[in-house]
């Protein structure tokens, strides 16, 4: 049993120990603070993987810090990255580890020194990857024009992203895409594709002024974002279906594939058959087919089939269409098929001139058509040296193996080129014809007789005519 004095002394000691412990914890916690620097409160940004910058002040030299975000008003707190060695007193950034979906969030930093943890204040940030009207200056006449841009929620500005150009029908506008095709939009969103919906100039049937606008939009997007040049596609309905055919005809070096929905392939025939659009066509084309037959012929896909040799075409049309007769699409399908070109024809029994009906249920089919048909010319080369070694002897015969990967349809019939350059102005050139089926590999080889001059030589492999993706090179040392 403790005497009263001993009990009192022990109790006092325990109280002192408790006070000291609380003081130690309070002092340690007070010695650590987090100052949030950027993004500032209420920031709105289209960057969905921003840097979150802060400074930690701590009595411990390094701490571990985690970035947290919570959707407003009632989302689940989610960690977007950790830095385990944040140095006290130095400004530090944690970049979001994955794209942040569009929305408004609170963000904060949680740091720990292994014993104690502290949470910063919370700031607000809004992620708004662009979805809506965009402007550009038209190269045709210098006017300010607009298009509607649909960016995916998880858009990554550093990743090469495919693009679809959507062309509306007669009487529509750039909002037709966003208003009428929610499922198609979601499919492109889910696969992180960009869609740009174009305004046709005063229903000019996508003749030269509007085609220039489309090119301006494409150039604008390419300059702003990392657009995948092998996956630029065009689609449209009715007047826009014919417009998609036209734009691909005149820009087949850029457009990978297209989808034509109840469009016009023969404008002379369409002028003869329509009662509604004669005046509009004559105004756009500068006369009737009998007055300017060359214009109507030049604007029609039928009669210009050769321009689709490397541009796969998907066609949708309703059998009961009374606005654009289904014969327009049947004839184009037959003509392209007869030439062996890539074409897919879908005729919907009983369907009228209604793009929503034709697209409904076929959204993934449309996406797969685009996804499966990258731009003609996306061919990749890989050169390797048989008997791979650090250096080769002067005067020996060196075998160079080349693998050609042709991603596209139809088959690649081209010329493979070899160029070797080296010291004292040395240059060697060789070539051979190649043929590689669609979506397959071809293997070829060159034999190079190395000169008698030691030094570094560069071996370059390409195609003639040259293609940007079809190139590879190696350095070889001769001793």
- Asked whether residue 451 carries a pLDDT value surpassing 60, the answer given is yes
pLDDT surpassing 90 at residue 276:
yes
Q: pLDDT class for 17, splitting at 50, 70, 90?
A: low
Instruction: Indicate the pLDDT class of residue 29, thresholds 50, 70 and 90.
Output: very low
Given this model, what pLDDT does residue 1 score?
A: 47
Cα 206 from chain centre: 25
Confidence at 464, pLDDT banded by 50, 70, 90: confident
pLDDT given at position 247: 96
Q: 19-33, 190-204, 217-231: which range is least confident on average?
A: 19-33
In this structure, of 72-76, 253-257, 425-429, 462-466, the range with the lowest mean pLDDT score is 462-466
Structure confidence at residue 241 (pLDDT) = 98
pTM, to two decimals = 0.67
- Given this model, what pLDDT does residue 23 score? 46
- Give me the mean pLDDT over the 246-268 stretch: 95
CA-CA-CA-CA torsion sign (75, 77, 82, 86): positive
What pLDDT, on the 0 to 100 scale, is given for residue 27? 46
Mean of pLDDT values over 212-235? 93
Q: What is the mean pLDDT of residues 333-362?
A: 96
Can you tell me the mean pLDDT for 62-79?
Answer: 95
Asked if residue 470 has pLDDT above 80, the reply is no
- pLDDT grade for 25, boundaries at 50, 70 and 90: very low
Name the pLDDT band for 9 (thresholds 50, 70, 90).
Answer: low
Higher pLDDT, residue 121 or 46:
121
Share of the chain above pLDDT 70, in %: 91
pLDDT of 26 > 50? The answer is no
Q: Is residue 313 pLDDT above 60, yes or no?
A: yes
- Asked if the model's pLDDT at residue 382 lies above 70, the reply is yes
Confidence at residue 381, expressed as pLDDT on a 0 to 100 scale: 76
Residue 314 pLDDT more than 50?
A: yes
Q: Give residue 30's pLDDT.
A: 45
pLDDT at residue 208 above 90? yes
Q: What is the mean pLDDT of residues 168-195?
A: 95
- pLDDT, mean of residues 220-242: 94
Q: pLDDT at residue 156 above 90?
A: no
Which long-range contacts (C-beta less than 8 Å, at least 24 apart) are formed by 325-334? 325/273, 327/269, 328/263, 328/264, 328/265, 328/266, 328/269, 328/270, 329/260, 329/262, 329/263, 329/265, 331/265, 331/266, 331/302, 332/245, 332/260, 332/265, 332/301, 332/302
Categorize the per-residue pLDDT at 130 as very low, low, confident or very high, splitting at 50, 70 and 90. confident
pLDDT at 43: 95
């Amino acid at each position: 049993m403790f005497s009263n004095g001993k009990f009192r002394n022990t109790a006092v000691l325990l109280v002192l120990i408790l006070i000291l412990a609380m003081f130690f914890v309070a002092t340690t916690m007070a010695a650590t603070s987090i100052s949030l620097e950027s993004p500032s409160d209420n920031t709105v940004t289209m960057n969905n993987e921003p840097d979150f910058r802060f400074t930690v002040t701590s009595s411990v030299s390094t701490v571990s810090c985690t970035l947290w975000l919570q959707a407003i008003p009632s989302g689940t707190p989610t960690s977007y990255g950790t830095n385990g060695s944040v140095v006290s007193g130095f400004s530090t950034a944690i970049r979001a580890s994955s794209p942040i979906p569009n929305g408004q969030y609170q963000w904060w930093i949680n740091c720990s020194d292994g014993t104690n943890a502290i949470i910063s204040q919370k700031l607000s940030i809004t992620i708004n990857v662009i979805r809506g009207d965009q402007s550009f200056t038209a190269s045709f006449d210098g006017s300010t024009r607009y298009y509607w841009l649909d960016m995916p929620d998880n858009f990554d500005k550093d990743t090469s992203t495919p693009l679809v150009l959507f062309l509306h029908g007669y009487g529509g506008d750039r909002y037709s895409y966003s208003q009428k095709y929610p499922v198609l939009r979601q499919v492109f969103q889910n696969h992180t594709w960009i869609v740009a919906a174009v305004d046709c100039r005063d229903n000019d049937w996508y003749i030269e002024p509007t085609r220039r606008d489309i090119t301006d939009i494409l150039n604008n997007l390419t300059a702003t974002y990392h657009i995948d040049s092998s996956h630029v596609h065009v689609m449209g309905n009715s007047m826009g279906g014919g417009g998609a055919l036209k734009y691909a005809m005149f820009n087949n070096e850029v457009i990978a594939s297209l989808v034509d929905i109840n469009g016009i392939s023969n404008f002379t025939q369409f002028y003869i058959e329509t009662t509604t659009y004669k005046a509009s066509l004559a105004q756009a084309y500068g006369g009737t087919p009998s007055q300017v037959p060359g214009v109507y012929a030049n604007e029609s896909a039928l009669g210009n089939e050769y321009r689709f040799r490397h541009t796969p075409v998907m066609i949708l049309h309703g059998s009961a269409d009374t606005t654009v007769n289904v014969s327009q699409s049947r004839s184009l399908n037959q003509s392209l098929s007869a030439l062996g070109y890539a074409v897919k024809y879908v005729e919907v029994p009983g369907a009228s001139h209604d793009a929503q009906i034709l697209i409904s249920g076929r959204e993934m089919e449309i996406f797969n058509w685009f996804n499966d048909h990258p731009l003609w010319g996306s061919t990749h080369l890989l050169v390797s040296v048989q008997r791979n070694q650090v250096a080769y002897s002067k005067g020996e015969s060196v075998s160079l193996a080349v693998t050609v990967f042709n991603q596209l349809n139809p088959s690649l019939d081209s010329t493979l080129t070899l160029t070797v350059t080296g010291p004292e102005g040395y240059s060697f050139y060789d070539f051979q014809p190649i043929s590689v089926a669609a979506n397959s590999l071809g293997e070829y080889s060159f034999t190079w007789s190395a000169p008698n001059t030691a030094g570094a030589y560069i071996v370059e492999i390409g195609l003639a005519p040259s293609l940007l993706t079809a190139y590879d090179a190696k350095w070889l040392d001769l001793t």
